[in-house]
Chains A and B, each alone.
Chain A
């Protein structure tokens, strides 16, 4: 029988290999980190760029999408930093401690590092990798994964933010990690951040990603989060990249017993957006919630891949995803709830819903359950369709113009996810962003 034919290396794969060979000596970190990079690149080189036959990348053919390996973005100059400060108008109204990563490099000069709350420490990834700090050992260990895009991130990781929160510490205002690409050229950035929360610590972390329109830049970003026992982490990630950008993001979260973890994604910008969420519920009595809203149009392509692993008993997880699609947009949701043997009394619910506003949009859903314990309650649901004509008729019969009716229904549709966010200012900001998206749509 014919053996599996190995795929030819694409131009981009070869270019990535060349790029790695030439830049690896300039990347931060000592011998340990260099070995880690080599191993990660080996993992990537073996698998190649993910394509349709790789199940978790079934709907996003990176092999076809990633045609070239652009050069790494240069460190920002003064002018770039000046522009970066104005980034993320969406959350401008929220009083937060802003930490900037510009063109893949942490920018302490414009970041708000004054009067850090007790127990909070902030450093750049480059600094941590170089110093041999114990935090450096955590990088790459949070949740094991052989994903090719993550392996690329590990191989090339240049900088990012490393935050640690001591036992019992809590923040008086949210942390806002602002990732900005200011270069209008075709560049690539690989950022890796780490958040380690001690027992009972609590934080709200906002993360935003944006860049210029008209530039086919590439972003590969990852965050590792360790949520300690009884800690409380709420995270919101906003993806508002430029219209030609390729954005790949990976969240690796390890959640310990009794912790509360809520993660929300809000996706509006970028040509191809891939959000990977790998969450491990390692202790008992965890309350986890993962949610997402995608508002996409034209030829945008948004792919959410999520795995929640219930390792210990008595945990609850809720997954709520909403997509609104216009034009030729394509939204993908691939979620998996995995209940390991022994994770009894797991209570997990996953729901993914898509609303198609145009005849040419496409929605693909794969809500998967994988269960190895018998005393569990697990459910998943999924719907796709257009706006409910009866609801529309009811409201129009009461004199509301059609466009307004549609806007109201769409806001209600995504509202289910947005309303669950704890911080009022953030809720309002997202509701406004939804409204703006609807106005621009017309």
Chain B
């Protein structure tokens, strides 16, 4: 009951469509000229002091992008984006990679403080109450507009052999590793937004876990868009070498603005023999107001490649923010016996549009995958699950179980399920099930009869509905996610 109580209190403390991370940090920033051209790409590359091959890689992607057109198959509707009306690079002024936190602009530190993100190593995520000695450590990479402003616990991680740094820094310090893996999971030409990202990506995290190492702490990246009219294009690359393990968390917020902002990220995971990556996201970009004005366009390509035998990738996502979400974290199950998991809660309210899901591509023998997706739509939103499960001819013994449920709150919203199941061999066993329903009147009645208010009862039922997924989140995030759920549902009762 404690969690429910907390949820309900959270609902009460915040008024209708009040996005609590909607503030803006007043900070001078340096931007590349508006618009996109080869010059802007050269500018970004030069700013990052990148090697020559990287610039070529970007320019190649840019030239290909010029010949691509935007995908239109998703169930989302938005005015055409003017890609020449955006800033592709924005960094806090006089930004020089800080040696320690003391050198970071205090305004930025304040921002993260307000967001509850622990940049000082003695702190932990806000809202988590644990006794002093048992506090879990979390290393954070904080990305502010186009640059990474701070990365914590670097020394301790280094001692374990783990590389955790902004990708721009990795390009300078570990060019061979980056060159070997960058674009190997999501090729530059993968899709319109991924290609755009390849051309202009500015920062993001790079993680390498050496063979046999269990990463000593959770790694996390916190993305913040601050500047007006900018797009954020970050790129994350995580490599888990043979027998290693890492849990990685990602969070994101943005100021409340009337215009839409574009976020087009690419995340690539590479997992070698017997290794595992657990990737969790709490996506809380500004969703726009009740009339659908403003908000982030979240067009993200996330894909993991289980290259080694018995490797494993687990995606967990809680999607509550963004005006439009277009995101399909996927697993390519190449290695024999590899497995992929996808746990998702997507909540839409107001006029949000969510088109999200996953792809499980079974290529190797005895590969397994599991998809648990819970969609909740309220207000006048549309929430679509779109997923692909496919088994290649050689993927003998592939197994998949998919369960995608949708819950509708109110009669103005829509919930849709578009699964693709493709089996090219008889030894693959695929099962798919999905249901759509509204909150059961019986359940609500039962709860309310026992003295819960209607809001309390809805919160209780919804928390029960999404429990399968919440259980997969690291504890620190589970608390956060539970609060987010209550905020998103707020105003939907009745």
Is there contact, CB below 8 Å, between A362 and B424? Answer: yes
| B412 cross-chain contacts in A, Cβ below 8 A | 341
Is there contact, CB below 8 Å, between B430 and A385? Answer: yes
Interface residues on A, range: 35 or more
Within 8 A of A (CB), among B356-396: 393
Interchain pairs with CB closer than 8 A, number: 127
Within 8 A of B (CB), among A251-302: none
B57 is an interface residue with CB less than 8 A from chain A: no
Within 8 A of B (CB), among A344-392: 344, 354, 356-386
| B67 cross-chain contacts in A, Cβ below 8 A | 2
| A109 cross-chain contacts in B, Cβ below 8 A | none
Interface string of B230-264 (1 = CB under 8 A from A): 00000000000000000000000000000000000
Is there contact, CB below 8 Å, between A379 and B425? Answer: no
Q: For the complex, what is the distance from the CA of A377 to the CA of B418, rounded to whole Å?
A: 17
Among candidates A362, A366, A373, residue contacting B423 with C-beta atoms closer than 8 Å: A362
Chain B at the A interface: SS class: strand
Is there contact, CB below 8 Å, between B420 and A376? Answer: no
Q: A371-B414, A373-B411, A385-B426 are in contact. Are A379 and B434 (CB under 8 A)?
A: yes
| A368 cross-chain contacts in B, Cβ below 8 A | 416-419
Interface residues on B, range: 35 or more
Among candidates B73, B83, B431, B438, residue contacting A374 with C-beta atoms closer than 8 Å: B438
Among candidates A2, A367, A378, residue contacting B436 with C-beta atoms closer than 8 Å: A378
| A358 cross-chain contacts in B, Cβ below 8 A | 426
In the complex, the chain A residue whose C-beta lies closest to that of B429 is: A385
In the complex, the chain A residue whose C-beta lies closest to that of B418 is: A368
CB distance from A143 to the nearest CB of B (A): 21
Is there contact, CB below 8 Å, between B416 and A356? Answer: no
Q: A55-B73, A371-B406, A385-B426 are in contact. Are A364 and B421 (CB under 8 A)?
A: yes
Among candidates A356, A371, A377, A382, residue contacting B421 with C-beta atoms closer than 8 Å: A382
Within 8 A of B (CB), among A232-267: none
Q: A2-B66, A381-B432 are in contact. Are A354 and B423 (CB under 8 A)?
A: yes
Q: For the complex, what is the distance from the CA of A342 to the CA of B414, rounded to whole Å?
A: 12
CB distance from A421 to the nearest CB of B (A): 26
CB distance from A192 to the nearest CB of B (A): 31
| A86 cross-chain contacts in B, Cβ below 8 A | none
B410 is an interface residue with CB less than 8 A from chain A: yes
Is there contact, CB below 8 Å, between A376 and B438? Answer: yes
Is there contact, CB below 8 Å, between A344 and B411? Answer: yes
Interface string of B167-207 (1 = CB under 8 A from A): 00000000000000000000000000000000000000000
Q: A362-B422, A364-B422 are in contact. Are A374 and B434 (CB under 8 A)?
A: no
B296 is an interface residue with CB less than 8 A from chain A: no
| A362 cross-chain contacts in B, Cβ below 8 A | 422-424
B122 is an interface residue with CB less than 8 A from chain A: no
In the complex, the chain B residue whose C-beta lies closest to that of A342 is: B411
Interface centre among A357, A358, A385 (most CB of B within 10 A): A385
Is there contact, CB below 8 Å, between A364 and B420? Answer: yes
Is there contact, CB below 8 Å, between B426 and A379? Answer: no
In the complex, the chain B residue whose C-beta lies closest to that of A350 is: B434
In the complex, the chain A residue whose C-beta lies closest to that of B408 is: A374
Q: For the complex, what is the distance from the CA of A379 to the CA of B432, rounded to whole Å?
A: 10
B354 is an interface residue with CB less than 8 A from chain A: no
B61 is an interface residue with CB less than 8 A from chain A: no
Q: For the complex, what is the distance from the CA of A342 to the CA of B83, rounded to whole Å?
A: 39
B138 is an interface residue with CB less than 8 A from chain A: no
In the complex, the chain B residue whose C-beta lies closest to that of A374 is: B408
In the complex, the chain B residue whose C-beta lies closest to that of A379 is: B435
B69 is an interface residue with CB less than 8 A from chain A: yes
Q: For the complex, what is the distance from the CA of A368 to the CA of B404, rounded to whole Å?
A: 11
Q: For the complex, what is the distance from the CA of A382 to the CA of B404, rounded to whole Å?
A: 12
| A356 cross-chain contacts in B, Cβ below 8 A | 423, 425-426
CB distance from B235 to the nearest CB of A (A): 22
In the complex, the chain B residue whose C-beta lies closest to that of A361 is: B426
A4 is an interface residue with CB less than 8 A from chain B: yes
| B408 cross-chain contacts in A, Cβ below 8 A | 371, 373-374, 376
Q: For the complex, what is the distance from the CA of A65 to the CA of B384, rounded to whole Å?
A: 32
A1 is an interface residue with CB less than 8 A from chain B: yes
CB distance from A405 to the nearest CB of B (A): 16
Q: A363-B423, A365-B421 are in contact. Are A376 and B430 (CB under 8 A)?
A: no
| B415 cross-chain contacts in A, Cβ below 8 A | 369, 371
Among candidates B66, B393, B411, B433, residue contacting A379 with C-beta atoms closer than 8 Å: B433
| A384 cross-chain contacts in B, Cβ below 8 A | 421, 423, 428-430
| B435 cross-chain contacts in A, Cβ below 8 A | 377-379
B493 is an interface residue with CB less than 8 A from chain A: no
On B, residues with C-beta under 8 Å from A are 66-70, 73, 83, 393, 406, 408-438
Can you identify 9 A-B contacts, CB atoms within 8 angstroms?
A: A1-B83, A4-B69, A366-B419, A369-B436, A372-B413, A374-B410, A379-B435, A380-B419, A383-B430
Enumerate the 9 nearest inter-chain pairs by beta-carbon distance, A residue then B residue, closest first: A356-B426, A386-B426, A374-B408, A384-B423, A365-B421, A369-B417, A382-B432, A385-B429, A374-B438
Known pairs A354-B423, A369-B406, A385-B430; list 20 more (Cβ under 8 Å).
Answer: A1-B68, A2-B68, A359-B427, A366-B418, A368-B416, A369-B415, A370-B414, A371-B408, A371-B416, A371-B436, A372-B414, A376-B437, A378-B435, A380-B433, A380-B434, A381-B431, A381-B432, A382-B433, A384-B429, A386-B426
